[in-house]
Structure 1
């Protein structure tokens, strides 16, 4: 961690941002170190146990049921055909994608203190994504109930809410973003280890392809204000999307108004590393209607070691009064420069 901080601080001092800009060397190094860990376990190590326990069969049935329920909301008839789910070998469609701990760093746009809620849209425009995140303990090969999954991502034009920064899409032109909590939230896992969210497919931004962020919390306490406190964090990761799907999404409004430079999955080193060691961080997608604008159903399996301890650093906190800077943040100084403090009035 100390080496990571040194590398990242050097990048920031030189005017290059590790996560939102073109230089992601610190995050690449972190991922490489994890892949080289001889004690690392992945969901691939649980294939036999999950198959024999009936997990894959149950998951496949759950996904078909969920897809049909969402289709019904759009007025479409249900289908008993498993081909309604993403194409490929049956075993792969059962298994879905998988990632393990940790994939990458949290980046400079994590806002701590978000609300517990499934629907994080708050009126955000874009291709609606109903996302199931299934969390599995790689040490026991069983789903983990009653833990919190945190999810956040940028909007359709590549802007993160809750943060004002020169490199955050519109830069300093939208100081009101500091008080915007859309596309951020937490959800508890069910008895089957699933946390469900309603969000949008994220847009792209300079230097990175479309992706979502996640953090897995264990042992946290739910507070009266519908947030969590305490506990530990086992996983910090990112989810990606098939490039062909993204090509269709990016042609729709408001994605097609995004003026930031487009980065493809194939051009992103973090995406390439995310597929290392048997992992697959690509969300499996089912299109619910005749077009992507009708909405999507996505699912992904996340393997974690609950005993792992990660210490991500939020750039700011979400409070009853909106966003406030975390002055002790690992990301201190970015994006909370003097100029930005003046813009947002803190």
Structure 2
């Protein structure tokens, strides 16, 4: 397996000083050698696709797409504020960010209270993309549920800080918006529990909260209404993403078939996390927090080119009014990452069903190798 020597060397030092990670969810466990090889391979994939996208950033079609994105985000932000009756309230903006430690450093915290006026250039606010390159593909974790509902609003009766998530996907082979792709997203609730799975401490097979699938529109965009995720043992706050290519939409509002062309996790600014975790119901979670830099999976999620932290704006100066979060992500639609996307259960009419072939402890990697 190919790996990048500089990345591997850095990670080897870190891993040699760190005991074997133990996570709150089975399956999120790696041996040192496997972790180094998989991380290195993911970064090689990232660099290849970065070059592909860089070659077309100045084309008229790409520039036009970016202008549409600016206008779309500005209108969505205004709509969300109108819906809540807070058009005149001040708001917070996380602007551009500048390897994971760079993105998570103090300079990354560029939020401030701003007054939204007609004179505020939309391109200064909504033109910022987290990145125009492919996020390194990484383990999807042990709680992927196959055939989830196709829907935009996934909140159900969960309580937390509202989060409107807009994701735009670009085909790195064509530099055009992806077509015919279903985007799958899920997260734990404010106190760290996942829906849709039977494992101890989770929501159970009959639950579907904070899970949903959407087909991309003509600009490769999907929108989800969810809540800001909580945390659990050994993991920083994160949002799961999977891109399905070639899937069939079923009459019952779910999907089947296809292959996984992309899987990743988005992370969130530490300052934002700390602020939200101090509020209810997040602050009722007794599990210790794991910082972004301590999270085992961040080795996959960042390169010097890719920022895994999405852009965000607080809809007002009150957290309870929610966040507008967006990111632009490149993917290779011909990729097949099914090996890294085993599912714990399947949603069918009448409820969920465990996958009898699913092994929680083998999902992420081969058995750990020591030494």
TM-score normalised to structure 1 length: 0.81
Conservation of the 8 A alpha-carbon contact between 1:20 and 1:205 = no
Instruction: Spell out the pairing of 1:213-228 with structure 2 (5 A cutoff).
Output: 213-228=240-255
**1:280, CA displacement in angstroms?**
1.5
Aligned to 2:167: 133
Instruction: Spell out the pairing of 1:143-158 with structure 2 (5 A cutoff).
Output: 143-158=177-192
**1:217, CA displacement in angstroms?**
0.9
| 1:118 counterpart = 2:152 | yes
User: In 2, Cα distance between the equivalents of 1:58 and 1:38?
Assistant: 26
User: In 1, Cα distance between the equivalents of 2:335 and 2:92?
Assistant: 37
Aligned to 1:65: 75
**1:273, CA displacement in angstroms?**
3.7
Q: Which runs of 5+ in 2 are unaligned?
A: 2-19, 98-122, 364-371
Which among 85, 108, 126 is matched to residue 75 of structure 1?
Answer: 85
User: In 2, Cα distance between the equivalents of 1:227 and 1:138?
Assistant: 27
1:48 aligns to what SS in structure 2?
A: coil
Aligned to 1:40: 48
Deviations 1:21-48 (A, max 9, x none): 8845556642322213497203555533
User: In 1, Cα distance between the equivalents of 2:26 and 2:268?
Assistant: 18
**1:16, CA displacement in angstroms?**
5.2
Conservation of the 8 A alpha-carbon contact between 2:144 and 2:345 = yes
1:297 aligns to what SS in structure 2?
A: strand
Which among 304, 308, 311 is matched to residue 331 of structure 2?
Answer: 304
Deviations 1:182-211 (A, max 9, x none): 111101111111010011110011100000
Deviations 1:73-118 (A, max 9, x none): 1112279x9x975334967952411362552111111111100000
1:236 aligns to what SS in structure 2?
A: strand
Aligned to 2:354: 325
**1:146, CA displacement in angstroms?**
3.5
Conservation of the 8 A alpha-carbon contact between 2:148 and 2:347 = yes
Q: Which runs of 5+ in 1 are unaligned?
A: 2-13, 335-346
Aligned to 2:198: 164
Instruction: Spell out the pairing of 1:142-291 with structure 2 (5 A cutoff).
Output: 142-166=176-200, 171=201, 177-291=204-318
Aligned to 2:344: 315
Conservation of the 8 A alpha-carbon contact between 1:126 and 1:156 = yes
User: In 2, Cα distance between the equivalents of 1:140 and 1:41?
Assistant: 11
| Distance change in 2, residues 1:162/1:137 (3 Å) | same
Conservation of the 8 A alpha-carbon contact between 1:115 and 1:186 = yes
| Distance change in 2, residues 1:261/1:23 (3 Å) | farther
Deviations 1:171-191 (A, max 9, x none): 3xx6x6221111111011111
| 1:292 counterpart = 2:302 | no
Conservation of the 8 A alpha-carbon contact between 1:249 and 1:292 = yes
Aligned to 2:369: none
Aligned to 1:96: 129
Count of residue pairs the alignment pairs up: 313
